[in-house]
Structure formats: structure tokens, C-alpha cells
Amino acid sequence: MAGSSTQTEPDASPEPGPGEVVKTYKCGSLTYAKAGLFMLFGWLLWGDFCFTMMETVAQTIMPLKLKSLGVSNTTWSIILASLPAVLNMTVCPWVSFRSDRHRSRWGRRIPFILKTMPFLVLSLTALGWGDTLAPMLQGGLPFLKSVPPVTMLLTFLVTLWLIFKFFDMFVNSVFWYLFNDVVPTQFLGRFYGLFRTVSIGTTALYNNYVYKFAETHMREIFTGAAIVYCVGFTLMCLFVKEGKYPPPPDQDRSKDLLSGIKTMGKQSFSSPFHWYFYLVKAFLQDRSMGLISSIKTMGKQSFSKRFYWYFYLMNAFLGLGALAGLNTTTYYGSFFYKEMGLAPEQMGRLVAYGMLAGLVESYITSIFVDRWHPLRIYAYLAVFTAATGFSNWVWLFVSVPGQVFFWITLGLVMVGTFQVSLQQGCSIPLFMRLMPKSLYGQFSSANSIVRSAAIIVGAPLLGLCMDGISILCSNYGFGETFYYRFIFIWPWVCNCLGAVFVCLGYREWKRLGGDDHYRPPAPWTKEGYEEVASRVPSVPARPRIVMVSMWLGLAGPLVNVAWVLVFMYFMHLHGLNDSLAWYAKVFIPFKMVLAAIAFWQLLQVRRDIAARAGGQKTRYGIPHHGVLLVNAITALVFFPVYWYQTGKMVELNMQHELNIFGIASLVTTAMTLLGVQILRWLERDGTEPALAQA
């Protein structure tokens, strides 16, 4: 047991036998032998499995249930996104405040999990049995008999959903803090790596083996998830032992909200959640804490520098874009895949296989995060995502058999997984490297406020857009679900806006010192900045690898032309004369022009490298080799997918679709070249570090 291998006396350690030295590890008042540490990790990761399964079930099945009841996109965007965001801005801060000051024989985190578990488990189970419970409730209450059954069921489910999310916020608020309280500091990095592995693996297993039954066995899945969470999390709470904590920073132990707010007001402004409590305090008409001056202080610290606003807005728009991501874990992704002819089993496999690939690649990508700097990686990938993210427009004009669509999409998912893992691995380190460490919690809270506010407003707006497109599609004779093919527009626009802000932030970061000399702006200090205690050196751009990346980028269009010549022979054999003529007269000439532009870019970069090496001024900056190389390799690895896609169109005699995919290839190549040019613009001033010697 994890608990049995811990000892709460600070100086206690196992007595070694004769000639034996037992190594122990400390976390506060807890002491672990190696076996106890393994058991601790095992129980925490088991808890992560149960928690992830419960969250994934609720997140993926509720959209299907609401949609089956005829709920509009606007309404269920509010229900599933905006309302939980409101809870996130209100419940979580208070729970975090109370948990930090709670003292009991079970610790300060576990009691909040155990005490809310019955309500969370019951509400989750009731969601699965809503079709049975709602009519029973309506039959037992005479004043509800006039309510239409569908309205009654919808109201019942929404009420249960809000109850579930309310108590889920308690767990979400303290579960993550538990790790910091019980895991020795020297193992936190490895633990979070294992934690992410378990989360991805759990989601992959669910999507591969369970999601295909989502519409036919909702009741069983909800009930099973509730049982797994109840039993699994209870065991984790019993076997993971919290230590002894020092007294809270204040002596006020009252448990009512108003007293908690008064205590909060007496403390410094370093708390990440103080703003919420001050607003509630203002509502209660207690002005003794200097409310206005306190809010002004926080505003000057967290919101007065445009540099930080760039990243708040970047995360806000990327969060909005994620609402409509094309995977089954988002609110709209599953409906898009259903419109494209995929069965639930195939949808689950898409997510599962992509996550399993990400599971393998997550460790590899983590190596490059510090070497290339997380901000640089994030900015470069944001540019390429914005430049090429419009490619899903093809599905407005192309309809292929579901099995063909499955293999095309699976290929795209597998090819792009490395870039996705690389970007996800940068998100938290990016903020850690940029925000002032003295007020990191406060700045993280400011980012959360902006992001949650954006989702509260943006989710209903997304629903309104989709409802409007649905009406237009119906008026023009398209299918009932055809409008889901337009869903790509929302994340693409959001990603473009997010890319603008991260690029502006990247330019400002370079102006503030970049790789070698960046210091976080700190308007509350006399100097106006905060010193960085320890710097992680980044690998500068390497000329030879930059040029290799450029040559690989040039190879892409040329290989594409060579393969098209092969497919033109098969077009001739199948009598696809219109496509044959289009590829000969349009595709090949335009692709060769794009290859010439790529070659021109290559020469320009080589000239700038030579100018930098000679101490001369460059026309543009020199892109870093890291993401540039990853993007070039990804484009080459995509060719098997292109081969399958084009071959299937020829085999099925789909001339129109064949031409559309050809247009998409031309547009993607052109936009990739634009992305490279934007990266040269990002690096164009004189603040770059010197090039490394190849």
C-alpha cells in the first residue's frame, strides 16, 4: 500500500539491516521507500484511469443524447460548454481556497473528493437512466403532467448535467493539487509523463472498444463509468496517504463563505483566485478590504502589459477552436464523421489509433521542447496550422464511401500526430518560461479568466452559426446533416486569430531579449522586469539543417509531379479523359510554378545565411531548423496517403473528386510556402542569436 510505505514523522526512515542502506524519498512530512513510491504512483495512476474514463464518457455521450432530442446547436453549446465555464470561474476558486486551509485526519484534498463522490456518482448514473426516471418523476408529480414528455426529459437531463458538473468541479479543483502534496519533487516530471500516458491510453481504449456502443447502450456505459469511478477513486483515496501540513496562513477556521472571503481579503494579491472573492464581497456590500484598489492592483500586474495579453488571447481563441475540433471527443466532431459515412466503431478507432501514436511520440517530442524553446515551436506550428487548416473545404464538394473516407482520415491523423504531440507538449512549458515565477499562479488565473469568458460567449455563437448554416442548407435542398461539413470554418478562423496573437507575442518576446536575455515584464517592481533564476539554453538555428529542410520542402512538389505522371497513365486506362486533360494542362504547370517559388525561397534563405555569417544585414530572418524540418518531413510522409486517395478516385471513376483533390494539393503547397515566408518575417530583425556552427 502507498499509505503503509509512508511515515508522517519528518525524520523517520526505515531501519536498514546489517550492511544495508535503504534509500528514502521525502515529500513534506511523508517519507517513502522505493516500494512505497511505486505503490503511490500505481494508486495515483489508477485514480487517473478512473477519473479519465468518467470524464470521457460524460463528455462524448451527452452531445449524442441532446442531439437525439432535437436540441439546437445553440442550446446544447450553452449547456455543454458555456454553463460549465461559468462553474469553472466560480466554484473552482472557492473550492481551491477552502481546500488549502482544510485540515483533517484524511488530509486537505481527499475529503473534498470523498464527500462529493455520492452526489457525483448518483448524478452520472441518473444521466444514463434519464429515459426511465423522467417519466416516473412526471407521473409522480401532478403539476408536471401537462409538460410535454420531450421537454420533461430534456429539463431532467440538463438539471442532472449541471449537478454532475457542479460536483465534478470539486474533484477537478483538488485532484491535481494532490500530486504536488504527496509526490516527491524530484519525481514530479516523470510522474506527469506517466500521468499523461495513462490519460491518453484510457481515452484510446474507450474510443476503440466502448464508443461504438454510445448510442445503443448509453445506460450501461454511464452506469459502468459511475461504478468504476466510485470503486476506483475510493480505493485510491484509502491507499494514498496525505501527510501533516503546517497551520494555514491564517487562523480563521470558519467554514462559511463570507468568512472565507474576509480572510482572503487580508492576504496578499499573490493568490490566483482573489478576484472572484472580491467580486462576491462587493455584492455583499462589505468595503473594508479596499476592493477597488485591490482590483486595480491585480489589473496593473496581470493585464497592463500587452505582451501577456497576446498569450491570453492566443489561448482564448485556440480554446474556442477546440470546441469544434474534428474528433469524437468534441461536441461537433462525431456528427461530422457520421455525415461522412463513418460508423461509431470507425469513429472510435480514428481517435484510438491517433492517441496510441501520440502515446509513443509524446516522449520523443518532449525532448525537443526545451531544445527549440516552446514558444518558437508553438508559433511555428500555429503558422503552419493556420496556413493549411482550410484544407477540409474539400468535403464540401467531395463525397466518398465511408470506408475510403476512414482510411484517408486515418492516414492524415497518423501523419499529423507528431506535430500535434509536439504542440501539446509545449503548452504548459510555454507559460512556465514566459510568466513571472513570483506571481505564476495569478497570471495563470488571469489566463483562465480570459479563456473561460471567451468560451462562455463563443460557444453560443458557434451554435448560432451552425443553426444558421443548417437553415441555409435545408433551404437549398442539401441533406439534414450536410451543414456539419462546414464545421471546419470555425476552428480555422479561431486558429488564424490565435496564430496572429502568438506571432505578435513571439516578436515581442524577441524584442524583450529572446532566447538568451528574456526577462518577464514586471510592472510592480522598480526595475520593471523580473530576473530569471535559471535559464534553459535553446539550440540556435543550424545553417545546414535549415538548408536540408528547404531542399526537402522543394522535393515535395517535384515528387508530387512525378507521381501524378504515373496516375495519369491509370487515368488513361480508365477513360478519365477530363481528369487527364486537367492534370496535364492545369495541375502540372501550376505545381511546377510552385516548385520554382520554393526554389526561389531556398536561394533567399541561403543568401541570408551567408549574409548573417559575414556580419551583414539580412533581408529577412532565418527560420529555425526544428519545426521547419518536421513540417518538411511530414509533407513527404503524407505521400502514401496521397497515393491511396488518388488511386481510389481513379479506381472508382470519380473524375470530379479527383480534380477537387488536385486543387486542394495546389492550395496546400501554396499556403505552405506562404507559411515559410511568414516564419522568415517573424525572424527578420536583428535580435536573433548567432547561428550555430554546423
Q: Which CATH architecture fits 48-245?
A: Up-down Bundle (1.20)
For residues 94-120, average pLDDT: 79
Give the pLDDT score at 22.
60
Cell of residue 439, nine digits: 506571481
Residue pLDDT, tens place only, 285-335: 333 334 355 456 656 777 778 888 998 999 889 888 888 766 545 667 778
Residue 268 confidence (pLDDT): 37
Least confident of 60-74, 506-520, 676-690: 676-690
pLDDT in tens, 441-463: 567 667 777 888 888 888 888 88
Q: How many CB atoms lie within 10 A of CB 525?
A: 12
Decide if 295 contacts 278 (C-beta within 8 A): yes
Q: Which of 204-213, 465-474, 528-537 has the lowest mean pLDDT?
A: 528-537
* Residues in contact with 679: Cβ distance below 8 Å, sequence separation at least 6, in sequence order: 380, 383, 621, 623, 628
Residue 603 CA neighbour count, 13 Å, CB half: 6
In 3-state terms the chain splits into helix, strand, coil percentages (rounded to 5) of 75, 0, 25
Asked if the model's pLDDT at residue 692 lies above 80, the reply is: no
Give 177 or 374, the one with higher predicted confidence: 374
- Least confident span in 9-18, 103-112, 565-574: 9-18
Domain with CATH 1.20.1250.20 in the chain: 48-245, 303-539
In eight-state DSSP terms, residue 60 is H
Burial 552-574 (b: 16+ CB within 10 A, else e): bbbebbeebbeebeebbeebeee
Please indicate whether residue 585 or residue 68 has the higher confidence score (pLDDT): 585
More confident site: 256 or 487 = 487
C-alpha distances out from residue 649 to 8, 397, 665, Å: 68, 14, 14
Residue identified by cell 499562479 is: 441
Which 3 state secondary structure label does DSSP give 338?
Answer: helix
How does pLDDT run across 341-373, given as a tens digit for each residue? 888 788 878 877 887 777 777 767 777 777 888
CA atoms within 13 A on the CB side of 505: 31
Tell me the pTM: 0.71
Please enumerate in sequence order all residues whose Cβ is within 8 A of that of 61, keeping only pairs 6 or more positions apart, or say none: 214, 218, 221, 222
Average pLDDT, the chain: 80
Q: What confidence category does residue 689 fall into, taking pLDDT thresholds of 50, 70 and 90?
A: very low
Burial class (CB in 10 A: 0-12, 13-18, 19+), 694: exposed
CATH of domain 303-539: 1.20.1250.20
Instruction: Report pLDDT digits (tens) over 622-648.
Output: 899 888 999 999 989 888 898 899 999
Among 144-153, 252-261, 609-618, 648-657, which range has the highest average pLDDT? 648-657
